Structure 1
Amino acid sequence: MPALHYHWGGAEARASCLLVLLPGFFDDPDAFERQGVVDQIHRARPTCDVVAMSLHLYDYRDESVVDRVHEDVVLEARRRGYRQVWLVGISMGALAAVLTAREHPEDIDGLVLVSPYLGTPGFAQRFERELARHGGLVAWARATPDRPCRYSRVLHDPRPVWRWLAGYGMHPDRMPPLWLAFGRDDRFADAQRLLAGEVAADHQLVVEGRHDWATWRRITQDLVAELPLELASDESAPREALPRGQLARRPAASDW
């Protein structure tokens, strides 16, 4: 899978944590650097490495989206010795993050869902009425049989995703930590607000903004510094944030 690996400090400096960035529908891996997000992360967490992935609609259509994230990046990160692997998804990339954690929760140390796509506005309105009839998300999930999740259909009917997300209310100790952030005027905010009702107040961030990079940059700047990441990569050789323009990028389309 095409991906960009951002590693600082030279080969001798080993990071303990990796943030895996999953883009939205129209973006490629380079978008995170072009929009300044990689630089923001590095300034906030100079001892964390970053991988920006490529995801497309056809990864859902051919049912490969979870295997691509888990096998191509998460398992490879574990092989390379990263102790923490967090998935940071924007928009449709946040859906990919949830799907991966749903299938492999033991391999994910945390989820950051930025303006997540969790259903169209029409779906969110229908789903909210459905939840009201059952008495909330947890009651709905307990009354709803778990069924296989067809990734090719989940963009249109994300109920299997919501059933898994209900676990944060049913058995939070078995779920990976989750942070949620979105703009108040996001076009998918109806579904995002439904999820916000299940997330601890200190694990969510709502800012002024829409479903765009201006909002996502603001969220990244405010949120990444709050994540409980392992900051020490090598206590004997700490790494410092690089001045702007000195970002050390290593493309890894073949060897990551």
Structure 2
Amino acid sequence: MKAEERREHIARLLREQPVRVEEMAEAFAVSPSTIRRDLQVLSDEGAVVRTYGGALSAAPGEQPLHERERLALAQKAAIAEAAEARVRPGAMLLLDAGTTVGALASRLASWTGITVVTNGLTALDALADSAGVELVALGGAVRHVSLGMIGPLAEGALRAITVDTVFLGADGVVAGRGVCEGTAEQASLKRLMVEQAREVCVLADASKLGRAESNWWTPLDRPWTLITDSGATEEQLAPFRARREVAVTVAVP
């Protein structure tokens, strides 16, 4: 297979799901260094975004939620299971919008005696028929690309609430810096979520670790827990493990 043809295949593959360098090297019967050169060419062309150990599709704009729901399903399921293990009976929880947190919401549908506050339409849908969960919608303006509610209405409602644990999603998470999002409104709401919670958990699959392409940030300058999947390399995890304020949980599918 010629290099140009291989790169076209790689770009198509990454539109479907994140893939690590070693997996692509095995799939295309070439060395990891060859794949890294291919990814660099694709990155220079704007076709992909490089991450630690792999790459993501760089399709214009943020991927719609219905597309992201098909990515990294096993990883998100494992992260959701690990996050559920942190939930205690009678807890009041705050769930962010997004597909990984949405996977946690689906697991919580069988619980009784907990309260879930959320700005995510995915979480609301997952929990709407659960008689045992008291469900509170923050309200606000809906971002159709992520099906999350943001803005002053959501923030005003959140200021009247404190919760035991917040489960955050993110476009990317960087040790010592925080989580990033595509808009100022998303980052602002996340900052308030962090302030109103006694415990902070960030749910992020391996492709999000060290990723900083989005421009708006929510600092994490207090103790918090990162829950990621077993695809994360030691190189990715090392900056988080080195921070005294971060506890790292690696979920195995």
State TM-score, norm by structure 1.
0.32
More strand by share: 2
Tell which has more relative contact order, 1 or 2 (C-alpha 8 A, sep 6+).
Answer: 1
State TM-score, norm by structure 2.
0.32
